[in-house]
Amino acid sequence: MLKQRFVLDTSALTDANAREGVGDGTLNYYMAETLDLIAEARLTLGISCYIPYPSVYNEMMTFARNNNCDEETLAEIDTWLVKKAPDRYEVKIPSKILYEYVDHMRTRINKGMAIAEDIIWEAATVCLFRTTKATSKKEIESEIEREVIGSLIGKFREKYRGAMRYGILDSAPDIDVLLLARELDAAVVASDLGIQRWSEELGLRFVDAKGFPMMLREYLSKMQNRGGRL
């Protein structure tokens, strides 16, 4: 069997849908069970599971601690997941991919702003309709636009764009997962649809978090059936 490499996103071990119906349903149980499989696959099959360091590693450890995972499970994360920082200077990504990512984010930001503007407009209309003598909302639309909404929308747009553009690379752990997988020619394990989309764009193999433990069990089962021969 060809030895494989996987790069894990935080969702690979924390996804709620993946752990549903597994053991007692707690995060600690699911993480421990999956890490045991990863350990066995590493020792038996030479399969390596990487985690971007420090971004995804810190995110996963924080999530585990906040969800009452015990020290043994935390130790398994440290033991069986290979911590590695992606080489952000040498890994090459086509400029077209970066362009599409920026365009996608700009579109999403603008959609969010448009939705919020509609809600502001509707809320202001309802409030003024209830506090004026107008018999219909149409009678106060011009007043709203001139005296209320115009200035509010302007302030909202400025603050919204500032908030959304600042720190937009808070998705750095996701980017690190993709960069490290590309660097190692490894498969990506996650439940995040955004990571799945960009894995496909970059030509990376993608494994859904829910099916990852089953995949490892299948590898180990076939290994046992062949009497331990690779």
- 87 and 18 in a single domain? The answer is yes
Q: How much is the average pLDDT of 124-140? A: 64
pLDDT (tens digit, 9 = 90+) per residue, 71-95? 999 999 999 999 999 998 888 877 6
- Rounded mean pLDDT of 162-182? 70
Domain end (from 141, 169, 197): 169
Same domain, 32 and 144: no
Residue 88's alpha-carbon distances to 111, 141, 146, in angstroms, are: 30, 52, 50
User: Is residue 54, in this structure, part of any structural domain at all?
Assistant: yes
Tokens, residue 162: 């500032």
- Residue 82 domain-assigned (yes or no): yes
**If pLDDT is split at 50, 70 and 90, which confidence band does 171 have?**
low
pLDDT higher at 93 or 32: 32
| For range 102-112, the mean pLDDT | 76
How confident is the prediction for the chain on average, in pLDDT?
Answer: 83
For residue 230, being part of any structural domain is answered with no
Residues 13 and 87 in one domain: yes
Domain co-membership, 39 together with 145: no
- pLDDT band at residue 118 under the 50/70/90 scheme: confident
The pTM (predicted TM-score) of the whole model is 0.70
Domain identity same for 83 and 180: yes
State whether 135 and 66 are in the same domain: no
Residue 225 sits at φ, ψ, to 5 deg, of -65, -25
pLDDT higher for 78 or 222? 78
Residue 69's pLDDT band, with cuts at 50, 70 and 90, is very high
Predicted confidence band at 38 (pLDDT cuts at 50, 70, 90)? very high
Q: How many domains does the chain have?
A: 2
Together in a domain, 16 and 79: yes
Q: End-to-end distance of the chain based on CA atoms, in angstroms?
A: 5
Q: Residue 213 sits in a domain of what CATH number?
A: 3.40.50.1010
Residue 147: band (very low, low, confident or very high) from pLDDT cuts 50, 70, 90: low
* Burial class of residue 77 in the structure, from the number of CB atoms within 10 Å of its CB (0-12 exposed, 13-18 middle, 19+ buried): buried
Same domain, 135 and 85: no
Phi, psi torsion values for 87, nearest 5 degrees: -85, 90
Q: Which domain holds residue 204?
A: 5-92+174-225
Q: Do 25 and 71 touch, CB atoms closer than 8 A?
A: no
- Of 150, 169, 188, which residue is a domain's last? 169
Domain boundary among 169, 190, 210: 169
* Whether 184 and 198 share a structural domain: yes
Long-range contacts of 165-174 (CB under 8 A, 24+ apart): 165/109, 168/105, 172/55, 173/9, 173/10, 173/52, 173/55, 173/56, 173/59, 174/9, 174/198
Judgement on whether residues 55 and 84 belong to the same structural domain of the protein: yes
